[in-house]
Amino acid sequence: SRAYSLVDSSQVSTFLISILLIVYGSFRSLNMDFENQDKEKDNSSTTGSFNGNSTNNSIQTIDSTQALFLPIGASVSLLVMFFFFDSVQVVFTICTAVLATIAFAFLLLPMCQYLTRPCSPQNKISFGCCGRFTAAELLSFSLSVMLVLIWVLTGHWLLMDALAMGLCVAMIAFVRLPSLKVSCLLLSGLLIYDVFWVFFSAYIFNSNVMVKVATQPADNPLDVLSRKLHLGPNVGRDVPRLSLPGKLVFPSSTGSHFSMLGIGDIVMPGLLLCFVLRYDNYKKQANSDSCGAPGPGNISGRMQKVSYFHCTLIGYFVGLLTATVASRIHRAAQPALLYLVPFTLLPLLTMAYLKGDLRRMWSEPFHSKSSSSRFLEV
């Protein structure tokens, strides 16, 4: 009964939503790769040449240097928010709202494409210097702007969660980890970053820096604008302070507390899940091109059928469950990456070693040659 009490409805909601976001973002990323391959083939057929290294400019690939310095940059940003939050909160809120608008529009785009396909062509409408957009893109952006405006007026946690979900999916879809080496560097550095700022920052700054920054609400821009323009004591004063969409929150069944999970604890393991999903697809295509060549002789056929994506996803769930149980036992905030990184990386490294893929996955495993196969069994 005690084990059952360690996990309530808010934690279950966090588990399910975070896993769905990772899976959806990974498949959106893989679908973008397929679309880029089709564009490259169309370009090669029209120009008579093919460049296998051409990629979508909107996709950002993290290299080893960026992976090493990202925790340092995140630490600097955390300190700026800790010491100068009152000075930068409005600018930070506006920038976050703009990014969340774009990300949530990306999240809604497939649904809008499905809704507009029967009644409108996919021709793009020109808006001058702003660019050309399809009806589905305009619809998704309009819905996203509407949701952000309602969130600014109400500050409701459910709308904040929706914006955070959009940020998670967009970051997983548009950021790439090129190899297992970069993945290990990035996740190991972020593990140290998470542990330091949760467990040891209080000894230096007399406050838990991570928890304070994550839970501190910001002034509503409408309230700030009304005060700057002297619009009167009642104009803009009834709008709530905003909890920024840098986390997912879910209330417990009793409403006594909220379960909170930072989007970094979803996105960073999600990038690893996206990498192994792409590698599973690449390996499947390579095996089909080589007429189903068998794996190493010392590995059973059942082991070969287990995908890296499934293995790492199960590890993420177990790590998230362990972090939740630890936070309830110690009754204090826990660095989720302390549990998520070992439970995702160690099974992945072990399986890659047993399957004989570790050397290939460690450094630049993907070839530039495109494949026409789109079949992926999950």
Catalytic residues: 194, 265
Let me know: does 284 contact 301? Beta carbons within 8 Å: no
- C-alpha to C-alpha distance for 44 and 184, rounded to whole angstroms: 36
Residue 232, phi-psi category: left (phi > 0), alpha (psi -120 to 50), beta (remainder): left
* Distance (Å) of CA 334 to CA 225, 250, 269, 328: 37, 17, 16, 9
Residues 6+ apart with CB under 8 A from 142: none
Considering only CA atoms, which of 346, 347, 320 is closest in space to residue 334? 320
Q: How many beta carbons lie within 10 A of that of residue 253, not counting itself? A: 9
C-alpha dihedral (227, 230, 231, 236), degrees to nearest 10: 10
Helix 85-116, helix 157-174: angle, nearest 10: 80
Let me know: does 144 contact 109? Beta carbons within 8 Å: no
